[in-house]
Structure 1
Amino acid sequence: MSVPSAVELARLDALSDPGFLLVEAVVEGDAEPVILYREGAQVRAWLNVCPHAGRPLDWAPGQFLKSRDGHLVCAAHGAAFELQGGNCVSGPCKGDALRAVPVRVEDGRVLLG
């Protein structure tokens, strides 16, 4: 039985620190836009879908707004999401959360799963 190879989403050095990168990944069988957020050696990931209206969070392809207090801000309706777990802390979907995508960093690569 063969072990499936890990899917590389990006090289760690392709992400600013701190910073965002938009990538495409197959999540539960569907190709989805995924936001990667790097903070030091740690990377978190979420689907690029605001839980309020299902719209992308970026204001232009791959361009994300980060508030002065360190939240990811939805460009469509201003919802603010904390960058630890993706929880909405203000705006029209307060109490909801971004849908997390499991990633890990290994040998300088950001891997799905």
Structure 2
Amino acid sequence: MTNNDVLPAPLCQLDELPLYGSKGFHHRGQALFAVRQGEQVFVYENRCPHRGVPLEWVADQFLDSSNRLIQCATHGALFLPESGECVAGPCAGQSLQQRPCYIRDQQVWLD
């Protein structure tokens, strides 16, 4: 292993994410957030495609009141958790930048 190699590290423990909730992270210099919908977890860059601003106003609150859609706090755009596609708002048709992830040993890992 060289000094330039980066050891893999989990993003978080699965139980850090509410069953239907979200949480923000700084991971290796990037602002990310994870959304959990039951047994599925999705990870995105914390940046709205419309203005390039972070999505949340309050720490770890990335979902609308139903906890089923990602919502941009700046202008209310709504995104599907499964794909990051904007389904309402000024960036309709655009998508959040998804980061592939998987769950192993009750931890969330990035690919």
TM-score interval w.r.t. the shorter chain? Answer: 0.7 to 0.9
Question: Closer, same or farther in 2 for the Cα pair 1:77/1:40, shift >3 Å?
Answer: same
Partner residue, 1:83? 81
TM-score normalised to the size of structure 2? 0.87
Aligned-partner Cα distance in 1 for 2:46–2:22: 11
1:26-65 aligned at under 5 Å gives the runs: 26=28, 31-65=29-63
- Give runs of ≥4 in structure 1 deviating > 4 Å: 1-5
Deviation at 1:62, TM superposition (A): 2.1
Residue number among 48, 66, 77 corresponding to 2:64 in the alignment: 66
Gaps of 5+ in 1: none
1:14 aligns with 2:12: no
User: AA paired with 2:25?
Assistant: V
Give RMSD over aligned pairs: 2.0
Asked whether the equivalents of residues 44 and 99 of structure 2 are also in contact (C-alpha less than 8 Å), the reply is: yes
Asked whether the equivalents of residues 37 and 44 of structure 1 are also in contact (C-alpha less than 8 Å), the reply is: yes
Question: Closer, same or farther in 2 for the Cα pair 1:35/1:69, shift >3 Å?
Answer: closer
Aligned-partner Cα distance in 1 for 2:31–2:6: 22
Aligned-partner Cα distance in 2 for 1:17–1:50: 24
Mean Cα deviation higher: 97-106 or 67-76? 67-76
Deviation at 1:70, TM superposition (A): 2.3
Number of residues of Structure 1 aligned to a counterpart in Structure 2: 109
TM-score normalised to the size of structure 1? 0.86
Aligned-partner Cα distance in 2 for 1:81–1:35: 13
Deviation at 1:60, TM superposition (A): 1.7
Aligned-partner Cα distance in 2 for 1:77–1:88: 12
Question: Closer, same or farther in 2 for the Cα pair 1:69/1:53, shift >3 Å?
Answer: same
Identity %: 37
Mean Cα deviation higher: 60-69 or 8-17? 60-69
1:98 aligns with 2:96: yes
User: AA paired with 1:57?
Assistant: L
